[in-house]
Amino acid sequence: MPVHDHQLHEGESLREAARERLTRQGEQWTGMREAVFDALAGFDKPASAYDIAEAVSKAQERRVAANSIYRILDLFVGANLARRVESANAYVANTHPDCLHDCIFLICDQCGQAVHIDNDRLTGGVRDAAKEAGFTQTRPVIEVRGTCGDCDPN
Amino acid sequence: MPVHDHQLHEGESLREAARERLTRQGEQWTGMREAVFDALAGFDKPASAYDIAEAVSKAQERRVAANSIYRILDLFVGANLARRVESANAYVANTHPDCLHDCIFLICDQCGQAVHIDNDRLTGGVRDAAKEAGFTQTRPVIEVRGTCGDCDPN
DNA sequence: CAATGCAATGTTATGTTGTAACTTGTCCTC
DNA sequence: GAGGACAAGTTACAACATAACATTGCATTG
Ligand SMILES: [Zn+2]
Ligand SMILES: [Zn+2]
Ligand SMILES: [Zn+2]
Ligand SMILES: [Zn+2]
């Protein structure tokens, strides 16, 4: 269970929370951004920028270049609407965009599913260790590659 | 300081330790593998497969394809002679190939330097959290992006 | 209402990272 | 010297990411 309380959103509610958050940052919630967010949230596993480009292209019946997707994903990550999964070169929608903290991702090497867990004790420990080594403006990347319970039902 | 004791190697001693380790695994220590290891160990920061291909090409005065480098790097990572830094798409030589454990990398966004720290309490905690979530055969990826003390001397 | 400025997006090109498939070379064994 | 096993070479391409510049649409203002 999470170490702290926060609201997890899904579907319509998630999009609303994302829109709220982005506009509150002084950024616009455009049709294109909504389309990208919907596509991203529609995936059940981390999606690459090209996956998203394909999904948006299909939804809009026109070609959307990966380029534009990257721009919007960068914006989303900066605004905490999405997270980048470094070990998968892929992105996931953030189900609690109002809650600013470090996430831990567990990624299944078999099925590609990613589980998101929160543990401030662990992430705080990693931050502290980096600080102790003289690092500032730290951004922890904590992920675990492995096999999920569904893929290895022992 | 490291939580456990182990020998850190460098230069000739490091290459020896790597050769020892690899051959003990039943793999061959070929000229090509030595060249790749030397090139990798010669970098003062994480090097991409293409960086290494270039270095080896220069050292051997012939073109070596990145392809071959990837094969050898995969072997090295599997044998604990090298580590992949996921958030940098790059590799570093492992200075203690005989010591099997999870490493934490701190990578400076400014200068690219990577510092390697060990903290079994933290990495163990991450492993435990993954296990609790039903994941098996786990391989933690714990890295911190930030600014190193040299680049931000406050 | 033109003219201007600005942010978002489109377009094209190219750079970087990573794999796949097949071939060649080398060494060992029979 | 034929055959097998493994390392490495070669070529081609897939996947991921960014750079540079053009276009669009909308708001401001003279
Ligand atoms: Zn949370
Ligand atoms: Zn799975
Ligand atoms: Zn160690
Ligand atoms: Zn630095």
Chain segment B65-112, per-residue pLDDT in tens: 999 999 999 999 999 999 999 999 999 999 999 999 999 999 999 999
User: For residue B99, which phi and psi values (nearest 5 degrees)?
Assistant: -105, 110
Residue with tokens 């330790």: B17
Query: Quick one: pLDDT at residue B141?
Result: 98
To test the contact with chain B by mutation, choose from A108, A122, A138, A152 the residue with the greatest count of B C-beta atoms within 10 A, namely A122
Q: Closest nucleotide to B65's CA, by C1' atom?
A: D9
**Residue A115 CA, ligand 2 centroid: distance in Å:** 10
pLDDT at B146: 97
**Residue of higher predicted confidence among A1 and B115:** B115
Where are any strands of DSSP class E within chain B? 82-85, 90-93, 104-108, 114-117, 136-147
Q: Please give the single-letter amino acid code of residue B61.
A: E
- Gap between the Cα atoms of B140 and B15, Å rounded: 26
The CA–C1' separation of B109 and C12, in angstroms, is 30
pLDDT digits 0-9 by tens, B137-149? 999 999 999 999 9
From the list B33, B35, B26, B55, the residue with the least C-alpha distance to B43 is B55
Pick one of 1.10.3720.10, 1.10.472.10, 1.10.10.10, 1.10.1040.10 as the CATH number of A11-93: 1.10.10.10
Amino acid at site B103: C
A144 has which bridge partners? A106, B140
Q: Is A104-146 in CATH node 3.40.50.170?
A: no
With a CB cutoff of 8 Å and minimum separation 6, the contacts of B35 are B56, B59, B60
pLDDT of residue A134: 97
What b/e string do you get for A100-137 counting C-beta neighbours within 10 Å, with b at 16 or more?
A: eebbbbbbbbeebebbbbbbeebbebbbebbeebbbee
- The set of residues, in sequence order, having a beta carbon less than 8 Å from that of B14 and lying 6+ positions away, is B41, B93, B95
Is B9 a residue whose pLDDT tops 80? no
Locate the domains of chain B by residue range.
Answer: 11-93, 104-146
What does each of the 154 residues of chain A score in pLDDT, given as a tens digit?
Answer: 444 556 777 778 899 999 999 999 999 999 999 999 999 999 999 999 999 999 999 999 999 999 999 999 999 999 999 999 999 999 999 999 999 999 999 999 999 999 999 999 999 999 999 999 999 999 999 999 999 999 987 7
Interval B21-77: pLDDT, tens: 999 999 999 999 999 999 999 999 999 999 999 999 999 999 999 999 999 999 999
Average pLDDT over residues B101-126: 96
Reference B79, options B94, B92, B69; nearest CA is B94
Look at residue A3 in the predicted model and tell me its pLDDT.
Answer: 46
CA/C1' separation A36–D12 (Å): 33
Kindly report the pTM of this predicted structure: 0.92
Q: Measured between alpha carbons, how far is B76 from B139 in angstroms, rounded to an integer?
A: 16
Nearest residue: Cα versus C1' of C8: A30
The two structure tokens encoding residue B28 = 């061959």
Phi, psi angles (nearest 5°) of residue A115: -105, 135
CA atoms within 13 A on the CB side of A80: 16
Q: Strand, helix or coil at A78?
A: helix
pLDDT of residue A10: 74
Determine the 3-state secondary structure of A6 from DSSP: coil
The minimum CA-CA distance between B32 and chain A, rounded to whole Å, is 28
